[in-house]
Chain A
Amino acid sequence: MEAVFKMGASRIASAVNAGELSAKEVVAAYLERIAELNGKLNAYLHVDSTGARRAASSVDDSVVRGERLSLAGVPVAIKDVISVRGLPITCGSRVLRGYVAPYDATVVDRLKRAGAIVLGTTNTDEFAMGSSTENSAYGASRNPWAEDRVPGGSSGGSAVAVSGGMATAALGTDTGGSVRLPACFTGLFGLKPSYGALSRYGLVSYANSLEQVGVFARSVDDLALVYSAMLGADPKDGTTTNFSWSIRDAPSRGVEGLRLGVVAEMAGEGIHEAVSSALSTTCKELERNGVSVGEASIKHIGYSLEAYYLIAMSEASSNLARFDGVRYGEHPAFEGDWNEEYSRVRSLFGLEVKRRIILGAFALSAGYQEMYYGRASRFRTMLIHEFREAFKQFDVLIAPTSPTPPFRFGEKTQDPLTMYLSDVDTVPVNLAGLPALNVPVGTFTIDGTTLPLGVQLIAPYGRDELLFTVASQLERSGLSIARVVEPWGRIV
């Protein structure tokens, strides 16, 4: 039998449902794997061995009773900004140290009900603000592909957990690319759903109007399996919607006749040549399978980064106001002026978080609100319109996920603007609320280091299933293959 940590979610679930493999065995194998690798990779901030073993035996009991669960025994990792009842939730921050989530996020609850087993919570840039996990208060995660390269962020811990074989699938969050970028940097499938497809209840808000829970997996089938277990409107999140498609059938549909548009403004200058070549390889592969490829234009997409950061920072400045030490976190009783105490507690935020709170508060302040937040919001409406126009000609768009392959630790930490530029290709999708998916597209080697490449597929709002159909074709043609990678760069 194949090593458990290399198995896909469908495989594990069917083996557990059939009684060929127990959930307890699966969990034991993964806990062993984590014990072996997490010290090097720093994917998990908290491993819940006891809870995972307990959940596994409950799944095994269900199987004995004859129940069949779509994710029976599938071990998953949860980004540490999503609430898992009874587990610490720090958001990669010192402010929340000591806080234990008192309830399950809706997505976590739905995964558990489907038989998935939460192994633990994973590292993130503080409050999901970053593109490399270097902003985590608990140290950066490592990219198993190369010791000196970042895994991407902010959901880097989840990406590393799945790519390192320490989880079968994982949840991240994608506010401006935080699932797609680390998926790209670690060679995984990484989904950012249509806004409103998944519940945000239990996800600690960074920028509410932009973010969605997303999924990392090593195959399109696994991605579909995990995603569909969480779908459906949630009465606890007024921004959720029910979609009529079935994701589970999407991978098996054909791509013939689909129209693919390469976003011209994103494929031009400033793109690393390896990325450009991955993009054209992908297009050619799809063309061979009956897809027509053309050039799409989103004329004003170049302003997205500015608009994105204005909106994200504005919302963040308000969302993060609640961390004042009064109601949660390890903050002892104090004497004296409460304003001073608030300042003391809030000085625990890291530099990047402080920067975004201050800039966001500025962008919303009287006299500047219209110039910054107001204009960014109007741009957003315009961008949505431009995407809608493009989708009249194309079924799916394609663009780089990142202009460059994974960068080095420390390479961008000195200059925040350079770091923000890592998100240039991913943020338009969040502004427009569209579904997008990073597909791994081979590797390239530089100075003896092999690094993964990826491109993103973008579908019209509410047409997430198209992403699965196209990605599945790329997977079947052998171009998009995600594998477990051991440090540093050993594909197993």
Chain B
Amino acid sequence: MAESDHRVMIGLEVHVQLNRLKTKLFCGCRAEYQGLPPNTNVCPVCLGLPGSLPVLNKLAVNHAIMVAKALNCTISRSFNFVRKNYFYPDMTKNFQISQYEKAGGVPVAHSGWLGFANDSSERRIRIRRIQIEEDPGRLEHPEGIGSSKYVLVDYNRAGVGLLEIVTEPDLASPDEARVFIQKLRSVLEHLGVCDTSREGAIRADANVSVDGGNRVEVKNISSYKEIVKAIEFEVLRQTKIIEAGGSVIRETRHWVEAKGMTISSRQKEEEQDYRYFPEPDIPIVSLDEDTLQRILDSMPELPDARAKRFVEQYGLKSYDANVLVLDKGLADYFEETVRLYTNPKTVANWIQSEILRQLNEKKIEINQLAVTPGYLAEMLHMIETGEISGKIGKRVLVEVANTGLPPRVVVERLGLTRIADVEFIRRVAEEVFRENPEAVEDAKRDQEAVNYLIGQVMKKTRGRADPDVANKVVRQLLNGG
């Protein structure tokens, strides 16, 4: 049986770092902790030193509210924080300040959805709730988990603001999960609340079940790129068990990136008791109408609105517009190029074919690509004026991507300019006629043979011959001219 014959249910708990904030969630330490020497981005508050108190970063609340609105959630007018109590060495206080919907807790937002286009229909994935919480520190196992003699702790990350976005189990395939994550990333990037490309910026736990079987929680997925891989593996694993006549056991598994597989955490399946209760050090946050409206008014354009605008303003097809806005970088790239080269459809086509190919081959993000919007526009101009052919353009783009040189320099260095010299092309055509007497004979009756001869002329000039000139010259020669 194929995988698609099984009913798959996937729910995600996505952790999004609020890494566009200057500071951590409850203190003045920097939110950007990457690359700093261990335990240098810390203070009494995020180290949980005796006597220190958390003070809520108000901008974090604004960011959470914008995300909640973008995900069509009900925003709580009054919400609080809770303590989630458990012992672990990456926790400076041995409790995490978080939000919860039970035990006297009210999270910032709940009951929303995120929609995306899939196979020409619109899918809506329901969001159960969004909560604000603090990131723990990081454990470093010098020789890998399980095989290290000792463990080091780095608290630079401790206290960085996170949003936990919990979906209902509405995702029906790993591919849907991929599009969902892409769309979510795009929303976050458009809102400017998360630089999703930063290490650790998006992490997730996934709940996966197949054919209504037991739910398996896959933890420790540490980047958005890994989410789909982990889900694919887990769906396949469960499918195989079911097809072999077995049943999936309810358990927690860990995604081991290096091995590309989920591994049972082998813990007794006892429910952790986190002893939630309202955080006494952070007063209840109440949002008055004005404040809320001010935050909502400050929201930038979101992907769906942008796609709509792309259709109206640039005449793109809805499908193409949606592909572009799925990656904010790509959409920005498109608009920047269009500013310099005003044929939006051509730009969109080039981005979706050649530019995306480069990104996939090089496994990079658009902002890492050497072909800047300026270079792409320059090259499109050269095609338009006939300096190079479209086919040569593709070659130029590859060269620009590889070397970082401007298109004009690439064209000159490789001698790729178009040849419009009639005499030169006639000499080439005569050579082609000598080498293909049969085709010449056929061409008197058969249009396909004519095309073949023209093609041979193009080939001999490595695509540089002006196709119109080549066409004219070949026909002239056939007519005895």
Contact = CB atoms under 8 A, between A and B. Distances in A.
A366 interface: yes
A417 to B, nearest CB: 24
B280 interface: yes
Interface string B120-150: 0000000000000000000000000000001
Contacts of B55: 235-238
Contacts of B51: 82-83, 89, 101, 103, 105, 201-205
A329 to B, nearest CB: 10
A315 B281 CA distance: 11
A204 B50 contact: yes
Contact of B93 (A322, A335, A361): A322
Given A201-B52, A238-B55, A373-B277, A102 B95 contact: no
Given A99-B50, A201-B51, A328-B49, A208 B275 contact: no
A318 B89 contact: no
A317 B93 CA distance: 12
Contacts of A235: 55
Interface string B243-280: 00000000000000000000000000001010111001
Contacts of A393: none
Contacts of A57: none
Interface in B79-96: 83, 85, 87, 89, 92-95
Interface in A296-342: 314-315, 317-318, 321-322, 324, 326-328, 335, 338-339, 342
A163 B153 CA distance: 47
Contact of B85 (A101, A238, A324, A364): A364
Contact of B87 (A83, A101, A203, A321): A321
B93 A321 contact: yes
Nearest to B94: A321
B104 A322 contact: no
Contacts of B282: 238
Contacts of A326: 89, 153
B89 A338 contact: yes
Contacts of B280: 207-209, 239, 315
B283 interface: yes
Given A322-B93, A369-B277, A342 B87 contact: yes
B87 A339 contact: yes
Interface residues of B, number: 32
Nearest to B39: A327
Given A103-B44, A238-B281, A315-B280, A322 B56 contact: no
B85 A321 contact: yes
Contacts of A242: none
B50 A89 contact: yes
B61 interface: no
Nearest to A127: B50
Interface string A203-217: 111011100000000
A335 B149 CA distance: 9
A443 interface: no
A318 B50 contact: no
A155 to B, nearest CB: 16
Contacts of A203: 51
B48 interface: yes
A102 B85 contact: no
A314 B48 contact: no
Given A208-B280, A239-B281, A321-B85, A83 B50 contact: yes
Q: Of residues B56, B93, B280, which shows the largest number of chain A Cβ atoms within 10 Å of its Cβ?
A: B280
A139 interface: no
B53 A238 contact: yes
B278 to A, nearest CB: 8
- By DSSP majority rule, is chain B's interface helix, strand, loop, or mixed? loop
A314 B95 contact: no
A63 interface: no
Interface string A184-223: 0000000000000000111111011100000000000000
B382 to A, nearest CB: 59
B383 interface: no
A221 to B, nearest CB: 29
B2 interface: no
B103 interface: yes
B439 interface: no
Contact of B49 (A82, A102, A208): A102
A237 B150 CA distance: 37
B137 to A, nearest CB: 10
B44 A317 contact: no
Contacts of A239: 53, 280-281, 283
A91 B51 CA distance: 11
Contacts of A99: 50
A377 B104 contact: yes
A361 B83 CA distance: 13
Nearest to B83: A318
A41 interface: no
B201 interface: no
B105 to A, nearest CB: 11
B27 to A, nearest CB: 9
Contacts of B85: 317-318, 321, 361, 364
A99 B44 CA distance: 13
A281 interface: no
Contact of A328 (B50, B271, B275, B277): B50
A96 B50 contact: yes
A50 to B, nearest CB: 23
A373 B276 CA distance: 10
Interface in B396-431: none
Contacts of A204: 50-51
B281 A318 contact: no
A364 B87 contact: no
Given A321-B87, A321-B93, A369-B277, A200 B50 contact: no
Contacts of A373: 277
A374 B104 contact: yes
A365 interface: yes
B47 interface: yes
A242 to B, nearest CB: 14
Interface in A92-145: 96, 99, 101-103, 105
Q: Identify the interface centre among B103, B104, B273, B277: most chain A CB within 10 Å of its CB.
A: B277
A96 B49 CA distance: 11
Given A238-B55, A364-B275, 18 more contacts: A91-B50, A102-B49, A204-B51, A238-B54, A238-B56, A238-B282, A318-B275, A321-B94, A322-B93, A342-B87, A361-B275, A364-B277, A365-B275, A366-B275, A369-B275, A369-B276, A370-B103, A377-B104
Shortest 4 CB-CB distances between A and B: which pairs? A321-B94, A209-B280, A364-B275, A208-B280
Interface of A: 82-83, 89, 91, 96, 99, 101-103, 105, 200-205, 207-209, 235-239, 314-315, 317-318, 321-322, 324, 326-328, 335, 338-339, 342, 361, 364-366, 369-370, 373-374, 377
5 contacts: A207-B280, A209-B280, A318-B95, A328-B50, A369-B276
